[in-house]
Chain A
Amino acid sequence: MISKAYKRENRISPLSATILNVIFILLSLACVLPVMLVIIVSFTHNDSLVNQGYSFFPSQWSVTAYTTLLKEFSTIAAAYRVSIGITVVGTVLSVLLMALYAYPISRKDYPFRSFFTFFLFFTMLFNGGLVSRYMIYTQTLHLKDSYIALILPLLIVPFNVIIMRTFFQTTIHPALIESARIDGASELRIFFRIVLPLSLPVLATMALFATILYWNDWFNALLFINTENKYPVQYLMMRVLKDVQYIRENMTLVSQNPELLKNLPNESLQMAIAFIGMGPILLVYPFFQKYFVKGLTVGAVKG
């Protein structure tokens, strides 16, 4: 029960309440409206797009974009399969591996702690660049056109490992580990039975990060994938957008070869693809959300 006095003391004056509400309403509108616009444009008739531009109230509606997409159903279904596949496998592996890296370097009694922390940190400062990355994957590891090439590059995100390390350091008290060891638990047992269950918030947060990272990745597909049915959904989407932009920038080329314009998706189609591309991540998000704040409080004191 909250006492009356307490209530009064913490009450916000109607004026500030209104102002705060308005601010938050505006903020949420700023988040929701663009998405709404994407959906509306995807249902807009091309003629009214050309005449009016983007509008929340188009003069003509149409579902052509979606019927066009249906014709490409098998391609899109394949792309969805790829996206979901790499996201699930990638997320599980990524969280596991990052935890396995973060945990040892969080332990003060691990002798090579500072070396491996620096080793990780170093990759954040310097990276080999595109050419060397491409060479490693195609010519050393021979991963061209394989799903592994979509999963491997994103497995470990150094910054996230450091967040995890901090979480382990601040949340798992050394005494806990020590007492487990006194009870005869092995290192692996401690890690899987004690540390991981206590770290659910950070694991969930990292899982969300990894999910988003994998779901949104198109660049690795651009680099390494050559077969149409191995492309993830995001790459198909990106390609549509980039093709349109490319045509705009290369009008001379187009005027010499008008057929380049033939299958050019119009804007409602682009938006329709964007819409189906963002679907699943919107569904996944709420499930992770409750862990979000807890998992990210880097260095907070546990009460």
Chain B
Amino acid sequence: MKSRKTVVFAPLALALGLSAILPACSSDNKGSSASPAATAASTSASTAAVASPQALAPYEVSIVYHGKPQKDDALVQEKLNEYLKAKMNTTVLLQPIAPSDYKKKTELMMNTGEKMDLVFTASWLDFSANVTKGAFIELDALLDKFAPDTKKALHPLYLEAPRYKGKLYAIPTNKEITQGKAFTFRKDIVDKYNIPTDKINKMEDLEPYFEIIKQKEPEMINNYVAGGPASFMMYESKSNYRPIGPVPAKLPMFFLDYKSQEMKVKTVLDQDIIDLNKADAEMFRRYYEKGYTNADAATVTTNIADIRKQGKIWQQTTVWKPGSDIELKLSDNFDWVSHVIEEPIVTTDLATGSMLSISRTSKNPERAMMVLNYLHTDPYVINLVVNGIEGKHYKKISANRIEPIKDSGYDGGLFWVLGNQFLNYLKPGQPDDLYESWKKFNNDAKRFPLLGFVFDDTNVKNEIAQLTTIVNEYKVISTGAVPNPVKLLDERNAKLKAAGLEKVKTELQTQIDAWWKENKK
């Protein structure tokens, strides 16, 4: 009797036990994820002979990118495959990942060695850390061989930035290479009160107009501040200091005088920066006390865009590129004029803001690079990916101008993510010469001396974590909503000092010196 029971239940329970344990308990696999990293180098070396496109074996290139999955992704993919199949016997697998999940999900995919080919990456997605981990393969040879046109089309500064130990690991999206900083004003208000926008070069210059607007337009919020660092205008408009990225807690703590030839790191503990900080803190406090700043500045989280749409904002500090005033108008129907106050500088962060890499797990990096080349050089391909299918997702108005169809299932938000933006069709409101002015803007952009330098924070991780906490704790100083900001600043600086700011600075300086020695031309 006993044996019969066992026969019935043992296999059953065993099977069940396994199914219970499968999802929960399988840590033994963890170790194996590291080993494929070693093979990364060998794959890139296999760039052997490639025959004519027709003779290529079929291959599916997966493209993992930062974008919300959309209803008609499959249709677009199908169209794309028709075309690429005929051209080079290749299909693509579009793998959009929602922005909020992107980092987590791609990191998981990289850590588990999942097969991917083209992967969207950026400085703000820990590009350099992933390169160090060996997640991407180096691209110099592939770029030269399979995408020479792409290389030609890209501004040379772009290919200087995404490098690690001199080797290229990503191909940036071709768009504006940098962004200037500007005060942006609503045109009707500027005209009504005769505000000389081109004379306003720093926050202080706005003060008299704040007073006027406060009197005459009581509904308006003069200086809208939400929570965090009130303004990025401080260093840009008052000094040659520029933050060295990446910056903890989005508040710059380390600076470099970009005009000086000596690569000397300054921190928030240096006297000139302290002076700047104090003056700014006092200014923000004054604005708050006079009621120019919104009263809930310290706690509010509402995005300025929502308030702008209601017509309550007449000036705002913005990052600027040609066409950004029109972007604002398209979103809220007011006319805007900008006065650029900072000369556009190409920094590592900006030049690596949107890129495609090839994953080490790619089984055919050559083909991935060929697809990338199509995204950069073929107007049909890139517009298909960005704008969707003609007649279904947009109407064509002229050779390079389209009108998107509303709620069509594909919304064209990918232009800054993939390929060559200069080949994108223009949308309503965008001027005909938009791309011309971008090219000019790119050519005029100034090179930050440290372009291409990336700080390796391995040795000072703890210090940076502590600094970040402190900075966050005192973020509210710059909103003006707390009394005695200068005293708080001193307090913060003392804490920063105790938390090892100097140590990070020394480390940064050492790395910069070494980098400079290697790269000095």
The residue in chain A whose Cβ has the minimal distance to the Cβ of B108 is A134
- Which residues from A are CB-within-8-Å of B17? 101, 116, 119-120
Contact, CB under 8 Å: A256 / B8:
no
Q: Check B71 for interface membership: any CB of A closer than 8 A.
A: yes
CA–CA, A259 and B411, complex, Å: 11
Q: Check A200 for interface membership: any CB of B closer than 8 A.
A: no
Interface residues of A in 148-180 (CB under 8 A from B): 152-153, 155-156, 158, 161
CA–CA, A223 and B328, complex, Å: 35
Q: Check B58 for interface membership: any CB of A closer than 8 A.
A: no
Q: Check B434 for interface membership: any CB of A closer than 8 A.
A: no
Q: Tell me, rounded to whole Å, the shortest Cβ–Cβ distance linking A182 to chain B.
A: 11
B98: which of A111, A139, A242 is its contact (CB, 8 Å)?
A242
In the complex, number of A-B residue pairs with CB atoms less than 8 Å apart: 173
Contact, CB under 8 Å: A255 / B318:
yes
Q: Tell me, rounded to whole Å, the shortest Cβ–Cβ distance linking B11 to chain A.
A: 11
Q: Check B68 for interface membership: any CB of A closer than 8 A.
A: yes
Contact, CB under 8 Å: A116 / B13:
yes
- Which residues from A are CB-within-8-Å of B100? 239, 242-243, 245-246
Contact, CB under 8 Å: B30 / A259:
no
Q: Tell me, rounded to whole Å, the shortest Cβ–Cβ distance linking B90 to chain A.
A: 20
Interface size for B (C-beta < 8 A) is 64
Contact, CB under 8 Å: B331 / A262:
yes
Contact, CB under 8 Å: B13 / A101:
yes
Q: A74-B71, A109-B5 in contact; A256/B319 too (CB < 8 A)?
A: yes
A135: which of B29, B99, B411 is its contact (CB, 8 Å)?
B29
A187: which of B9, B20, B179 is its contact (CB, 8 Å)?
B9
Q: Check A89 for interface membership: any CB of B closer than 8 A.
A: no
Q: Tell me, rounded to whole Å, the shortest Cβ–Cβ distance linking B403 to chain A.
A: 16
Q: A97-B19, A120-B20 in contact; A112/B10 too (CB < 8 A)?
A: yes
- Which residues from A are CB-within-8-Å of B112? 131, 134-135, 138-139
Interface residues of B in 10-34 (CB under 8 A from A): 10, 12-13, 16-17, 19-30, 33
Q: Is the interface of B mostly helix, strand, loop or mixed?
A: helix
CA–CA, A60 and B216, complex, Å: 27
Q: Tell me, rounded to whole Å, the shortest Cβ–Cβ distance linking B304 to chain A.
A: 9
- Which residues from A are CB-within-8-Å of B228? 251
- Which residues from A are CB-within-8-Å of B353? 256
Q: Which of A116, A242, A253, A255 has the most CB of B within 10 A?
A: A255
Q: Check B78 for interface membership: any CB of A closer than 8 A.
A: no
CA–CA, A255 and B303, complex, Å: 11
Contact, CB under 8 Å: A50 / B327:
no
Q: Check B83 for interface membership: any CB of A closer than 8 A.
A: no
User: Interface code B51-94, partner A: CB below 8 Å = 1, 0 otherwise?
Assistant: 00000000000000000111101100000000000000000000
Interface residues of A in 58-93 (CB under 8 A from B): 71, 74-75
Q: Tell me, rounded to whole Å, the shortest Cβ–Cβ distance linking B327 to chain A.
A: 5
CA–CA, A123 and B26, complex, Å: 10
Q: Tell me, rounded to whole Å, the shortest Cβ–Cβ distance linking A250 to chain B.
A: 7
Interface residues of B in 295-335 (CB under 8 A from A): 301-303, 305-307, 310, 318-319, 324, 327-328, 331
Residues of B near any A CB (own CB < 8 A): 2, 4-6, 8-10, 12-13, 16-17, 19-30, 33, 68-71, 73-74, 95, 98-101, 105, 108, 111-114, 124, 179, 228, 250, 301-303, 305-307, 310, 318-319, 324, 327-328, 331, 353, 407, 411, 413, 415-416
Beyond the given pairs A133-B26, A137-B23, A263-B411, 12 more chain A to chain B contacts, judged by CB atoms under 8 angstroms and listed by A's residue number, are: A100-B13, A110-B5, A119-B21, A120-B17, A128-B29, A131-B111, A132-B29, A158-B24, A228-B71, A243-B68, A243-B99, A243-B100
